[in-house]
Amino acid sequence: MSANRTGRSAPGAADMNRRQFLLRSGTAAVAFSGAGGLLAACSGGSPAPVSPSQQNRTPATITVWDYYGSSTPVKPALAGFKQRYPWITVNYQGLDWDTISTKFTVAVSSGSAPDVATLDMTWIPTYASTGLLMDLSKLSGGMLNRRPVKDQYSSSQLNAMSYQGHFVTMLFDEDCYGLYYRRDLFEKKGISVPRNWQEFRAAAKALAVSTTGNGKPSKYLMEIDPDTFHYASYLYQNGGAILDPTNNKAVFNSPQGVQALEMYKGFLDDGTGIYWGPGQGDRIAGLNSGTIAMFEDGPYYMGVMKSGAPKLSGKWGIAIAPYSEKPGSYLGGTGLSIPVNAPNADAAWTFVQDLLQAKNSVGVATYSGAAPGLQAALHSPQIQKPDPYFGGQNPWKEWLPTLAIATHYPYVQKWNAIDRAVADGVSAALLGKKTPQQALDDAAAQVNSWLAG
C-alpha cells in the first residue's frame, strides 16, 4: 500500500467497530443523560486565549472537518464558540470516517485543506511522517488555555501527540483496551475476574458452554479479533514492541511477540473463543445472542452497548485487560489536528483550544461515549460515577490505569502498510494457515523490506 494512502484496504473488526461507533445514530444520547444541559451550561465559559495575530479580532472563516457523526461533541460546542469569538466563522462539515481518511491527504496536497480536522490517532503516524500536520508546539508556544500542554496530558498521551519532538495533534478522545465480561455469569459460576493470562484462559474455559449436544462450546465465548489493535495489546503486555527503538526494524516476531499470538490463538485452539473477523458483522448481535461473553475494546464501546444491547443492562462488567508481564494496550482515539497549510492557522488554534476547555472536553464522554483526552475532563465528577448499565460499577475508574500507560503506534511513513501486514499475519495464524512464528516472521520480512527502502 502506498504511504500516501490513508485508511486501510481491508479493515479489521476493531477498525469496523470504531467506524460503527462514529456512524451509529444517537449512541451517546442513550448512553449518557443530561448531555445537552451540560454543554449548554458550558457555552458561557471563559474564552480561550487567542494568538497575537487574533488579538485585534481579525475576521476569519475556518473550515472544520468532523468525523464523529450524529453523536459528535464538536457540533454542540459551536454555539458557545460563536458567542465567545464572533469574529471567527466556523464552516462546519460533518464528513464520515471513511471520507476523511481518503480525502485528507489529497486536500492537503492540493492546497484545499480544512483548518481543523478530527483525525483517527491510527492515521497520525503516516500524516505526521509525510509532513501533512502543522507543528502545534510552535503555533501554541507549548501552552493550551494558559497552561502548559505537558501539564494537561499523561506522558503516554504526550508521546502519542508528538513527532520528532513537536506536537502534531491534540488528543480529543482516547482509546485503550480493557476487558468487557458478563458479570452475571461470572457471579453465577463463581469465576473470579482474571488478572493474568493464565487466569484469563481458565475463566474462558469455565464460562463457555455447549448448546449443540456435541460438547463443543458454542455460547459465552471469548471474542478473537484478527487485527493489529488486539495483537499489539497482547504484545505490549508481554514486554514486546512492534518496531525497535529506532523504528528501523520489525521486532514483533520476537519470542515475546510469538508468545503473545500463541496465547491469543489459544482461545480458538481450546474452543473457548470465537473468531470475529469483518465477515461476522456487528459485534452487538453476538452480545445479544449470548455467543460472546468476553471481549476487549475501548471506552467508546460502553455507549455502543447501551444503544445496541439495552436488555443486557446490569449484566456486564469492565476490568483491566489481563496481562502477562505488565498492563498494556495500544493508544488510539481522536486528535484535533491542523493541516500544515491550513489557511487560518491562528483562528484554527483558537478553535482547538476552545474545544479543549475542560467543560467542553467532558462533552466527549457525554455526547460520544468516548474517553476524553484531557486529564481534567477524564477525572471530572460528571464522568467518574457509578453506571447502572454496568451494575453500579464506575467503569471509568477501570480505564484510568491503562490509559496512563497505553502505547501509540510507531511514527513511520509506512505505518498503514505495516499495520496491514501485521493484521494479515495475525489472521493467518488465528485461522491456522501458518504457525504464529511463521506468520510473524513472514510479516516482519515484509515490513523490514519497506523500512530498508
- Kindly indicate the confidence band of residue 281, based on its pLDDT and cuts at 50, 70 and 90: confident
Q: What is the pLDDT of residues 350-375, one digit of tens each?
A: 999 999 998 889 999 988 889 999 99
Q: What is the pLDDT of residues 115-142, one digit of tens each?
A: 999 999 999 999 999 999 999 999 999 9
Percent of the chain with pLDDT over 70: 88
Residue 53 has pLDDT above 90, yes or no: no
Residue 246 is predicted with a pLDDT of 94
What is the rounded CA–CA span in Å between residue 105 and residue 342? 13
CB 177 within 8 A of CB 229: yes
Residue 315 has pLDDT above 50, yes or no: yes
Residue 11 has pLDDT above 70, yes or no: no
Residue 1 is predicted with a pLDDT of 24
Residue 16 has pLDDT above 80, yes or no: no
User: Bridge-partner residues for 452, per DSSP?
Assistant: none
Percent of the chain with pLDDT over 90: 76
CB 67 within 8 A of CB 19: no
- Kindly indicate the confidence band of residue 8, based on its pLDDT and cuts at 50, 70 and 90: very low
**Closest to 157 (Cα-Cα) out of 446, 442, 371:** 371
Residue 48 is predicted with a pLDDT of 54
Residue 50 is predicted with a pLDDT of 52
Neighbours of 241 (CB within 10 A): 17
Annotate 339-405 with DSSP letters as a single string: BTT-TTHHHHHHHHHHHTSHHHHHHIIIII-SEESSHHHHTSTTTSS-BGGGTTB-HHHHHHHHHTT
pTM over 0.75? The answer is: yes
- Kindly indicate the confidence band of residue 57, based on its pLDDT and cuts at 50, 70 and 90: confident
* 263's grid cell: 496465547
Residue 335 is predicted with a pLDDT of 97
What is the rounded CA–CA span in Å between residue 349 and residue 354? 9
Residue 279 is predicted with a pLDDT of 84
Domains delineated in the chain:
13-174+332-403 (3.40.190.10), 178-327+410-452 (3.40.190.10)
- Kindly indicate the confidence band of residue 55, based on its pLDDT and cuts at 50, 70 and 90: low
**Closest to 86 (Cα-Cα) out of 63, 57, 44, 65:** 57
SS3 243: strand
- Kindly indicate the confidence band of residue 58, based on its pLDDT and cuts at 50, 70 and 90: confident
**Closest to 183 (Cα-Cα) out of 450, 420, 398:** 398
Q: What is the pLDDT of residues 158-207, one digit of tens each?
A: 999 999 999 999 999 999 999 999 999 999 999 999 999 999 999 999 99
Q: What is the pLDDT of residues 71-86, one digit of tens each?
A: 899 999 999 999 999 9
The pLDDT mean for the chain works out to 88
- Kindly indicate the confidence band of residue 425, based on its pLDDT and cuts at 50, 70 and 90: very high
Q: What is the pLDDT of residues 368-414, one digit of tens each?
A: 889 999 999 999 998 999 999 999 999 999 999 988 889 999 999 89
- Kindly indicate the confidence band of residue 9, based on its pLDDT and cuts at 50, 70 and 90: very low
